[in-house]
Amino acid sequence: MVAPPAALCDLPRMSQFQDKVVVVTGSGRGIGKEIARAFVARGAKVAIASRTEANSNATAEELNAMGPGTAKGYAVDIANHDATVEFGKQVAADLGAVSILVNNAGVTRDGLALRMSEEDWDTVLDTNLKGAFNAVKAFQRTLLKAEDARIINISSVIGLMGNAGQCNYAASKAGLIGFTKALAKEFAGRKVCVNAIAPGFIVTDMTDELTPEMQEGIKKTIPLGTFGEVEDIANAVIFLAGKEARYITGQVLTVDGGMVM
């Protein structure tokens, strides 16, 4: 006997990200890894990019064990323009045309401006700001041709409000917001939405570097009273990457427990 056709409601719900090619920079650990995990969980093909091959491959392996999407590890220094363009070619050859780019790679080299070295200034600006430009250059052709393409830049509340001891980081993250808005205007004609997320304090290796006293002091400035989790940022990325956000571009979404309002 021939089985009757399955009712629509019996079919597994296909994720809108199924087989989409997604690049997440700085996804060997922390927030980037969780963003990558969220896309793999929805069936996407995800390029895991971090500085070290061992980290990227270990993360890709971990995410592949989880499925249903796939992850592939890449080692790239996003601050290096030529290396990033090469990385773009490799991703296109391995996974296909990219339609979602998440610029997440970031570093800190904190210190008061009076004492900050040129090297610490350059490292932070080259990674956090120029790195995003480099990645856009590497993927712009396919992004401009893709349907429902998205660029999501991970900025920071520090880029909105400044912070003593972080003039390099604040400048890079504020710059990323300006970059987001200019690019949103340039790419709008091709329906590519470009937005930024400004996380507050999220529990990762970056915040683990703060002393317990500093952490307690910061929590007093957060209306919701606690640090956020990596999932809070990944959820915001998934929203902005999805069809539900098709009419949102050039915006900064703060995910910060109410620090900046």
Ligand X SMILES: NC(=O)c1ccc[n+]([C@@H]2O[C@H](COP(=O)([O-])OP(=O)(O)OC[C@H]3O[C@@H](n4cnc5c(N)ncnc54)[C@H](O)[C@@H]3O)[C@@H](O)[C@H]2O)c1
Catalytic positions, written as ranges: 169
- Is the separation of the CB atoms in 198 and 253 below 8 Å? yes
- Is the separation of the CB atoms in 134 and 85 below 8 Å? yes
With b meaning 16 or more CB within 10 Å and e meaning fewer, what string describes 220-253?
eebeeeebbebebbbebbbebbbeebeeebbbbb
Residues 90 and 79: their CA atoms lie apart, in Å, by 17
* One of 179, 183, 201, 253 touching ligand X (CB under 6 A): 201
What is the pattern of x (binds ligand X, CB under 6 A) and - over residues 143-182? -----------x-x--------------------------
Does 199 interact with ligand X (rule: CB under 6 A)? yes
- Is the separation of the CB atoms in 173 and 156 below 8 Å? yes
What is the pattern of x (binds ligand X, CB under 6 A) and - over residues 32-71? x-----------------xx--------------------
Q: State which residue, 32 or 69, has the beta carbon closest to ligand X.
A: 32
Does 127 interact with ligand X (rule: CB under 6 A)? yes
Does 219 interact with ligand X (rule: CB under 6 A)? no
| Residue in 179, 169, 70 with CA at minimum distance from that of residue 111 | 169
Residues contacting ligand X: total by CB under 6 A: 28
* One of 107, 160, 170, 184 touching ligand X (CB under 6 A): 107
Amino acid at residue number 88: G
Residues 186 and 83: their CA atoms lie apart, in Å, by 25
Residues 94 and 157: their CA atoms lie apart, in Å, by 35
Q: State which residue, 15 or 109, has the beta carbon closest to ligand X.
A: 109
Stretch that binds ligand X, among 8-16, 139-147, 197-205, 218-226 (CB under 6 A): 197-205
Which residues lie near ligand X (CB under 6 A)? 25-26, 28-32, 50-51, 76-79, 104-107, 127, 131, 154, 156, 199, 201-202, 204-207
